[in-house]
Structure 1
Amino acid sequence: MTKPLFIIIVLITILSSTSASRRFVGTHKTHNNINVVQQQYTYDIKYFEQTLDHFSFSDNLPKFQQRYLINTDHWVGPTRMGPIFMYCGNEGDIEWFAVNSGFVWELAPRFGALVVFPEHRYYGESMPYGGRDEAYKNASTLAHLTAEQALADYAVLITDLKRNLSAEASPVILFGGSYGGMLAAWMRLKYPHIAIGALASSAPILQFEDIVPLETFYDIVSNDFKRESTNCFDTIKKSWDVITSVGQKANGLDHLAKTFHLCGKLKSSDDLSNWLDSAYSFLAMVDYPYPSDFLMPLPAYPIKELCNRIDESPDGTTILDRIFNGVSVYYNYTGTVECFDLDDDPHGMSGWDYQACTEMVMPMSSNRNSSMFPEWDYNSTSYAEDCWDEFRVIPRPTWITTQFGGRNIKSVLQSFGSNIIFSNGLLDPWSGGSVLENISDSIVALVTEKGAHHLDLRAATADDPDWLLEQRATEVKLIEGWIADYYKKKKAVFNIFNDNLPKFQQRYLISTDHWVGPTRMGPIFMYCGNEGDIEWFAVNSGFVWELAPRFGALVVFPEHRYYGDSMPFGSLEEAFKNASTLAYLTAEQALADYAVLITDLKRNLSAEASPVILFGGSYGGMLAAWMRLKYPHIAIAYRKLKSIDEFFYWLESMYTYLAMANYPYPSDFVMPLPAYPIKEVCKAIDDAPDETSILDRILKGASVYNNYTGKSECFELDDDPYGTMGWNWQACTEMVMPMSSNRKSSMFPEWDYNFTSYAEECWDEFRVIPKPTWITTQFGGHNYKSVLQTFGSNIIFSNGLLDPWSGGGVLENISGNIVALVTEKGAHHLDLRGATADDPDWLVEQRTSEVKVIDGWIGDYYKKMKAVLSIDKGSLIAHIAKLEAEIYNLQNQMGILIIEKKEWEANYEEMKTNAESAELALKRDYAAHVAALAEAKKKEESLKKALGIEKECVSNIEKALHEMRSECAETKVAADIKLAEARSMMEDGLKKMTDANAKMQAAEALEADASRSRRAAERKLHEVEAREDDLRRQMNSFKSEYVFNFLIIT
């Protein structure tokens, strides 16, 4: 047979090396587990209009509707910064993942969380181009099916969702299993400003290139079968040759099709082998400890069931019939399927074939010596040829590691990651490509020996083993810590912006009778309300009303808080109740009221460009004066309307470039210019004869920039000598940098930034709509200091304060290795220019500092690499000589060590016996407790029959049992931790006994430590026994209550 080239993450798709066709293997025609979702979890189904290509700004591409599921039943809301739990949708229908991710739903009430399940593009109902047929039409329409685009979808969706819910301060926790787990981990790394943590379950982020051995996946599958039955393992291993041999005979394919009850004709024995291969791999993934129907309806521990059917087949049963009996556990456990279709895809996952042929290239091989599968060596050439035949694309096997990392994963995650849980069960074949050891205190690997494919994300059941309860309890504890840390950092914001305070209704009077409207930028006259009823001030402020017709103005009289009808806390009595309720009656708060009101009013009237004139008398006059000082961007004293033509723009650009290139020596960066060109411009203007007109003076100054060489006879206003037109496109798409000018503080005309007109100009020029928030969504920006402190390192931000762009630069140190170098007389990236003899001292010093910092980065890198590199020969020889000397000395002490060893062995055995006895006692007590629970359950069953309310009773009892078992599990976790500490102390003692590195002096101290640990363990065991007694008392009470209720009813 020929080996499949890859297997996908949740449901495996096979690609034969001899055929480009990809198939979902197995029939599910009568099985649809998505329908049960409505019975278990409730949610609203919504759609969000997504951009097809987030990384391009062409408006020619259509939008598409992304489906997402949302539930707010348990959300405590934005005012309490209730968390948001988001599951990163996988390669399939999102409702299917929702119903199989019960852990997320069960956590929501505990954390008061909103739950959202966004669907992955090109899967389920989230189809670009209007439908699946068009979306999957060819490589061009599939081009936007990538992990990067999916992550951008999630980032844009959650940002918009938080904005619409006023939940910008709510922390986001990501969840995901398998490919969804990979997306969750990658999103935490790529968008750390959007999500504070991620639970990545069964996420094989290392299953790329040759980071892990290519045989890992199939070796784990094989070991899962071997641990259940060596005979089962051997039977499957022999079956491949039998299938190939039979398939080569006359009518052999028909015989195979009949033996395995296939619906149609078998084209090749390879197709059957791939079908079986998939079943074994699926079973290894979902070898759950209880019945499930994630992929198919399956019993508990389905591999054990499969091997039992193979091993217990009657004598004389052929090997093919044994295999069919076994594989029917996966494909037909319910016994309702009459025949099998090898090409079925019930979950709409065929898009994964394309992803596997582009970026999700996970090479696999199998070794016949170490696995039950046939020999197969991965061949990148044939893999690429199959992908080309199918999609006309060439795979990029190194793209994922380039985009998200993978090699040196420990170093990468230590440097740039935080708050990620990588959970894995070692029965899951994908665990071999996952992170299996802790990276740091906040990047944790939770590994369970008997766990399967993202088992921890499934809903809790009464059959959950203790180790699964403990794993979930640990995950909950870590997530609680992330959220608590987030709230601690937000505590200062809580103190200032306390959303728990009630809102209040502020009254204001408004007249638009004489207003000429927003299109003519009609002014707004605002009177700052005094300490009294606003209507009284309105009737006594006739000057404001009389000016309105003359200026075509809108008039507004806002009322001062705590006066007239503008009473907080609902009434005058409550507002004036005490110092606490009156604490918000201040001039500062009143000014903020006016600023918020006038800003919202202008926005609602589309009057952002309308000037505001303030009026006020007495206290109101003080408020008007103070507001002008405190909020100069909102209110002006007088403003002229302006227009900027091409000539104005030409002059403004020239002055801006001069500020940028105001270098201390002659240069030709933007134009041939003298040293300190601004000084030359001003000198040309100032030294002009007295009779020179202002326009001629401006021309003389402008000539310094535009004609310093004296060769130009005239100037072309729309010339683009630097080829910067591309920047106009970028500025109209993502590089939206809003700017205004204030005539009082600058030499430029008054100009207020207006996004509407900005967008209109971009549309006229490029037919695109700017995305002003995209850069901050993609790369962060808000709270940049916190973001850089948390996730950044080794960055120099250099700025010269003469450069107008320095105002938007980082001008202060963020951390010890994110440094701001600021020079008072520096201009636009002057430090990057070549050194000259005219460089001033401060520039030389700046560059020296930069060199020193860079030298430190490189030095640190070399230090880290030195530990990895082998020791040089001379050092190695010296090291060996030292070791030989130590060995010689140790040999002299060996006799003493042997004596000490016997003593330590005796102590160790005694301690081990005590620990094992204690553990055995604990297990006996726990077994008794479980037996008591089982007995209680039996009595509950009899009560159900007697009372005739089976469903309600079962639900209540199972909930109680699960809570008690969870509580018991937490107690057991604590006890196990103490026992582990005791064992650790014993292991340390044994190690120190056998290790000859001068550890004997600490023997007595270690023995004392071990004794103290043993006593501590005994005390803890006593505590556990007391807890068990308490649980027994609770159970007895529980039984008595049920008996009592039963007696009352009967």
Structure 2
Amino acid sequence: MEQSHMPVSYSFLVSVNMALQTCGLSVLGKVTVVLLLPLFAGGEGQYRGFRRFNRAEDTEQQSAAFEEQWFIQKLDHFNGADSREWKQRYFVNENFYKPGGPVFLMIGGEGPANPAWMQSGTWLTYAAKHGALCLMLEHRFYGKSHPTADLSTDNLRFLSSRQALADLAHFRTAIAETQGLTNRKWVAFGGSYPGSLAAWFRLKYSHLVHASVATSAPVHATVNFPEYLEVVWRSLASENTECPLLVKKASDTLVARLSDPKTYDNITKDFNLCSKLQIQTEADSAYFLETLAGNFMDVVQYNEDNRGFEGVTGTNITIKVLCGLMGDASLGEPYARYAAVARLMMATFSLKCLDASFNTYLRDMKNTSWEGPAAGGGRQWVYQTCTEFGFYQSTDSPNQPFTGFPLKYHVKQCADFYNVSAEQVAEAVAQTNEYYGAYDIRSSRIVFPNGSIDPWHALGITQDINPDLPAVFIEGTAHCANMYPARSEDLLQLDLARTHISLLLQQWLKQ
């Protein structure tokens, strides 16, 4: 809801990410480019992951309806000699609860927990039907849940999916005991990275959680994730077969021009950069190219979703809109149309210019203060990709429309930001798959919804593992689509998917 988690200069990225949101919940996520999102989505490298971060003021306004509460949490669940504690934020909605009803737990992800999800969303429809108490727990190190004094690499060692799952387990145990909910059936919900957490919570703590809905969950960790951009190609082609070809031609033209410094003044003007383009290293070029590619990556990932209820900007920009611009010959050659897409995105997010400086991004990502420009989730999420997941959306495949940001560009950031080597990244990813099982999950009562347009489905469960671990593959929908509030324009297959999940919950809650 929050994977899957994204730019321009990181500061630009942050402003956009905070305006956008990945599966909703800031209770979910995308990667730095490292993970799940594109340019205007929040990424990882550029901070591209699953999610967008809420504007702080939006979150505060929505918090008014559901008062934020605080849970005393352990800093290190795996060291009994460490007694340090911190306060973790959570929200409660008792409006649907009926005595004896289940408890629904929405899992937070790589961004601030958004109280909008306490007011709307498909999970609340299910809660009303089953008389459930609804809780949402913010992920450690995101939003207001600050376990440590800063975001230094030494402190980030307490940031991991395993610690997050232990947070969930301790929260569930303590709340159940204090609120008389020990004998209630608990159901975990999550989308994107939190979707993975929902599946793993049921897998690793089956005695505490009865069932899980793991939406758009990338359960297979991988250092190199070129399949992301392959899905982007296919998703663009689903609108118009010429569209990805035009994008590729434009991208190739730009790459060729970057080899000649004489073109930099024109490129600066064409893309309305905040300062004259400077390409002195491979990272400078890769950052700029990924930033522009991110326009398409983000729109594809969230195509025609219903994030508007969260106050998200830009939901009117769809694959159809981008392909319409790329196919408009009146704008000039494909390169000029590519620039028009960038200007449209800047106008949509009220950006006066595009800061495409890798040095700015580097500086921001190395800032360890909670007040730093990357503290909204970028520094934290990229750390998780370097130490657990990889998810680097590289251009290493020939079957995608972009050029110029290979795997080595992404992995090098792990060394630059956290002193984590490429070998250590590979080992960490292997350990993640060994620990959770990747595609070979052995559990029960977990449903895995995914959308065909969403690039993250390439790392998810899209076919039934067995009758008790079903997949719901929704043609024509994007990231976490089934989690958003229903609307009249939703595709029939999306409506049917929501109904199917509801019936599964009804069946499982009887077991």
Among candidates 308, 323, 328, match of residue 307 of structure 1: 323
Select 1:170's aligned residue among 170, 178, 184. Answer: 184
How far does residue 179 in structure 1 lie from its aligned partner after superposition?
0.2
**What is residue 149 of structure 1 aligned with on the other side?**
163
Q: Is 1:480 the equivalent of 2:499? A: no
1:122 Cα offset (Å): 0.7
Which of 242, 246, 250 lines up with 1:239 in the alignment? 250
- C-alpha change, 1:153 and 1:113, in structure 2 (3 Å) is same
Partner of residue 48, structure 1: 71
Decide which of 215, 229, 234 is 1:201's aligned counterpart: 215
Structure number, greater radius of gyration: 1
Residue aligning to 1:258: 269
- Paired residue for 1:10? 29
**Aligned counterparts of 2:296 and 2:126: Cα–Cα separation in 1:** 33
Number of aligned residue pairs: 451
Aligned to 1:85: 104
Residue aligning to 1:333:
348
- Stretches of 4+ moved more than 6 A in 1? 28-31
Letter in 2 for 1:450: G
Is the counterpart of residue 122 in structure 1 residue 144 in structure 2? no
State the one-letter code of the partner of 2:378.
M
1:469 alignment partner, SS class: helix
Counterpart position of 1:218: 229
| 8 Å contact kept, 2:265–2:277 | yes
Alignment of 1:271-286 (within 5 A): 271-286=287-302
**Residue 399 (structure 2) aligns with:** 370
Q: Is the helix fraction higher in 1 or 2?
A: 1
Classify the secondary structure of the residue corresponding to 1:314: helix
Residues 491-539 of structure 1: per-residue CA shift (max 9 Å, x gap)? xxxxxxxxxxxxxxxxxxxxxxxxxxxxxxxxxxxxxxxxxxxxxxxxx
2:90 corresponds in structure 1 to 68
d(CA) in 2 for partners of 1:472, 1:290: 14
Does 2:403 align with 1:388?
no
Q: Specify which of 214, 227, 230 is matched with residue 241 of structure 2.
A: 230
C-alpha separation in 2, matches of 1:245 and 1:436 = 38
The answer to whether the 8 Å contact 1:266/1:272 transfers is: no
Q: 1:358 aligns with which of 354, 365, 387?
A: 387
- Which residue of structure 2 lines up, in the alignment, with residue 972 of structure 1? none
Q: How far is the alpha carbon of 1:453 from its aligned partner?
A: 0.2
SS at match of 2:114: helix
Aligned residue for 2:7? none
Q: Does 1:288 align with 2:317?
A: no
Q: How far 1:263 sits from its partner (Å)? A: 2.7
The corresponding residue for 1:323 is 338
Cα distance in 2 between the residues matched to 1:428 and 1:468: 14
Find the aligned partners of 2:202 and 2:329 in 1 and give their Cα distance: 50
> Distance in 1 between the 2:191 and 2:120 partners?
9
> How far off its partner does 1:215 sit?
3.6
Check 1:330–1:186 CA distance in 2 against 1; reply closer, same or farther (3 A cut): farther
Q: Percent identity?
A: 26
Q: Distance in 1 between matches of 2:243 and 2:115?
A: 32
Q: Tell me if the contact between 1:425 and 1:431 (Cα under 8 Å) persists in the aligned partners.
A: yes
Is 1:427 equivalent to 2:456 in the alignment?
A: no
Secondary structure of the residue aligned to 1:460 is coil
Measured after TM superposition, the shift of residue 401 of structure 1 is 1.0
Checking the alignment, whether the CA contact within 8 Å between 1:198 and 1:419 is kept in structure 2 is yes
Name the CA distance, whole Å, in 1 between partners of 2:286 and 2:406: 16
Equivalent residue number for residue 107 of structure 1? 126
Report Cα offsets for 1:584-628 as digits up to 9, x if no partner.
xxxxxxxxxxxxxxxxxxxxxxxxxxxxxxxxxxxxxxxxxxxxx
Distance 1:468 1:36, change over 3 A: farther
TM-score with structure 1 setting the length: 0.40
> Do the aligned partners of 1:66 and 1:119 also contact (CA within 8 Å) in 2?
yes
The whole-number CA distance in structure 2 between the counterparts of 1:248 and 1:114 is 59
Q: Helix, strand or coil for the counterpart of 1:230?
A: coil
- Contact kept, 8 Å, 1:86 with 1:173, in 2: the verdict is yes
- Residues 32 and 99 (structure 1), Cα distance of their counterparts in 2 relative to 1, 3 Å cut: farther
Picking from 30, 35, 47, the partner of 1:24 is 47
What secondary structure, in the 3-state scheme, does the structure 1 residue paired with 2:68 have? strand
What's the C-alpha RMSD, in Å, of the aligned pairs? Answer: 3.2
In the TM superposition, 1:610-759 aligns within 5 A as none
Give, in angstroms, the shift of residue 262 of structure 1: 2.5
1:92-138 deviation digits (Å, cap 9, x = unpaired): 101177379711223222221111110111111111224xxx2x12x
Residue among 433, 457, 462 paired with 1:401: 433
1:525-674 equivalence runs, <5 A: none
Amino acid at match of 1:325: A
8 Å CA contact 2:33, 2:393 repeated in 1: no
Equivalent runs, 1:991-1002 vs 2, <5 Å:
none
Contact 1:84 1:116 in 2 (8 A): yes
Residues 100 and 458 in structure 1, CA contact (< 8 A), matched pair in contact too: no
Using the alignment, how far apart are the partners of 2:320 and 2:156 within structure 1? 41
Q: CA deviation at 1:62?
A: 3.0
Separation of aligned partners in 1, 2:475 and 2:346: 26
Structure 2 CA distance for partners of 1:383 and 1:279, relative to 1, 3 Å: closer
For residues 122-178 of structure 1, the C-alpha deviation after alignment (integer angstroms, 9 at most, x for no partner) is 111111224xxx2x12x2111110100000001101111111111111111000000
CA deviation vs aligned residue, 1:1026-1050 (integer Å, no higher than 9, x gap):
xxxxxxxxxxxxxxxxxxxxxxxxx
For the Cα contact (< 8 Å) 2:89–2:145, is it kept in 1? Answer: yes
SS for the counterpart of 1:398 is helix
Q: Which runs of 5+ in 2 are unaligned?
A: 1-21, 23-27, 36-43, 280-284, 362-372
- Give the 5 Å matches for 1:835-914: none
Task: Report deviation, 1:40.
Answer: 10
How far apart in 1 are the matches of 2:384 and 2:48?
A: 18
Contact 1:41 1:99 survives alignment (8 Å): no
SS at match of 2:155: coil
Q: Which moved more, 1:185-194 or 1:236-245?
A: 236-245
Q: Give the conservation status (yes or no) of the 8 Å contact 2:482–2:494.
A: yes
Per-residue displacement from partner, 1:945-996 (whole Å, max 9, x unpaired)?
xxxxxxxxxxxxxxxxxxxxxxxxxxxxxxxxxxxxxxxxxxxxxxxxxxxx
Q: Deviations over 1:762-818 (max 9, x none)?
A: xxxxxxxxxxxxxxxxxxxxxxxxxxxxxxxxxxxxxxxxxxxxxxxxxxxxxxxxx
Contact 1:428/1:451 (<8 A) preserved: yes
Paired residues of 2:59 and 2:115 also in contact (CA < 8 A)? no
| Preserved contact between residue 44 and residue 71 of structure 1 (Cα < 8 Å) | no
Contact 2:236–2:244 (8 Å) recurs in 1: yes
Larger RCO of the pair (alpha carbons < 8 Å, separation 6+): 2
Letter in 2 for 1:72: E
Q: Distance in 1 between matches of 2:56 and 2:287?
A: 27
2:190 matched to 1:190? no
Q: Is the 8 Å Cα contact of residues 249 and 335 (structure 2) preserved in structure 1?
A: no
Provide the TM-score with structure 2 as the length reference. 0.80
Q: Deviations over 1:557-580 (max 9, x none)?
A: xxxxxxxxxxxxxxxxxxxxxxxx
1:462 aligns with 2:491: no
Q: CA deviation at 1:238?
A: 1.4
C-alpha separation in 1, matches of 2:321 and 2:56? 22
Distance 1:34 1:50 in 2: 26
1:293-340 CA-to-partner distances (Å, cap 9, x unmatched) read 77952345701111112212516x243321122244544336x33223
Unaligned runs of 5+ in 1: 1-7, 486-1050
CA distance in 2, matches of 1:174, 1:275: 34
Residue of structure 1 equivalent to 2:4: none
One-letter identity of the residue aligned with 1:224: S
Distance in 1 between residues matched to 2:79 and 2:158, nearest whole Å:
11
The one-letter amino acid paired with 2:302 is V
Q: State whether residues 93 and 118 of structure 2, in contact with CA within 8 Å, keep that contact through their aligned partners in structure 1.
A: no
SS state of the match for residue 105, structure 1?
helix
**Partner secondary structure for residue 140 of structure 1:** helix
Partner amino acid, structure 2, of 1:235: L
* Alpha carbons of structure 1 residues 99 and 163: separation in structure 2 relative to 1, 3 Å: closer
Aligned mates of 2:123, 2:290 — CA distance in 1:
34
Cα distance in structure 2, aligned partners of 1:124 and 1:289: 23
